[in-house]
Amino acid sequence: MKSIFCFMLFLLGMTGLHAQTTLQVVTKSIQNKINADGLKKFSLLAEGADIELSGWNEKEIKITIQLITKNSSKETAVEDLKAMKVVQEKIGNTYFIRNYLAIQKGDSKPTSNFKAKYIIYLPKDLLLSVTNSFGDIRIKGIDANIQLNTKFCKTEIAASHSSLDLDMYFGEMDIQSQLREVKIKGDHARIIMGVHPGSLEARLTSGYFYCEPAASNQSFRIITDKGEVKLKPQNLGSFGYIVSSEHSDLNLPENFKADKKKKNYNINPDKTSKIIININYGILNIQ
Partner 1 sequence: MKILLTFLLFIQLTATAQDSTSISFSTEAVQEFKKQNLMDEYDRAFGGNRRVNNRIKVGLVDIAYERFPANLPYLSIEQKIGKKFSAMLGSIMVNRNHTAFPIGDLFKNGFSVEFSYDANLRYYFKSNEKLSGDYLSLEFKVLTRDFLSDGLIQHRNYRSYIGRHQTSVNLGKQFGSILDIGFQAGLKNVLKTKVTEEGFTYTHKKENIQFIPFIGTYSRIGIGANFPRTKKGKAESCDFLNCYNEFNNLFKINLSNSLYLDPYYGTVKFDLAYEKKLGPLPLSLEANLVASAFSEKKFKATGNYEDSEEFKGKFFTFYPEEERKNYLQLTSSLHLKYYFLQNRSILKGKSVSNLSGEYFGAFYTYKMGGENIYTDYSPYERFLKDALKSKSGLMLGIQKKILKNYFYDFGLKYDLTSKGSVFYKLSQEIKFGYAF
- Residues binding partner 1 (CB under 8 A): 16, 19-34, 43, 45, 47-48, 70-72, 74, 81, 83, 85, 87-91, 96-98, 100-105, 109-111, 113-114, 131, 133-134, 151-152, 169-170, 188
Cα–Cα dist 160/167, whole Å: 18
Query: Nearest approach, Cβ of 167 to partner 1 (angstroms)?
Result: 12
Q: Which is nearer to partner 1, 114 or 209 (CB)?
A: 114
Give the residue among 52, 34, 32, 36 at the shortest CA–CA distance from 44: 52
Query: Nearest approach, Cβ of 156 to partner 1 (angstroms)?
Result: 20
Q: Which is nearer to partner 1, 28 or 230 (CB)?
A: 28
Cα–Cα dist 87/224, whole Å: 38
The Cα angle at residue 169 between residues 168 and 170, in degrees rounded to 5? 115
Query: Nearest approach, Cβ of 20 to partner 1 (angstroms)?
Result: 5
Q: Which is nearer to partner 1, 226 or 230 (CB)?
A: 226
* Dihedral (CA of 266, 267, 273, 279) sign: negative
Which residues share a beta bridge with 241?
267, 275
CB 135 within 8 A of CB 68: no
Query: Nearest approach, Cβ of 43 to partner 1 (angstroms)?
Result: 8
Query: Nearest approach, Cβ of 141 to partner 1 (angstroms)?
Result: 23
Cα–chain center distance at 61 = 22
Query: Nearest approach, Cβ of 152 to partner 1 (angstroms)?
Result: 8
Cα–Cα dist 209/172, whole Å: 10
**DSSP line for 134-157:** EEEEEEES--S-EEEEEEEEEEEE
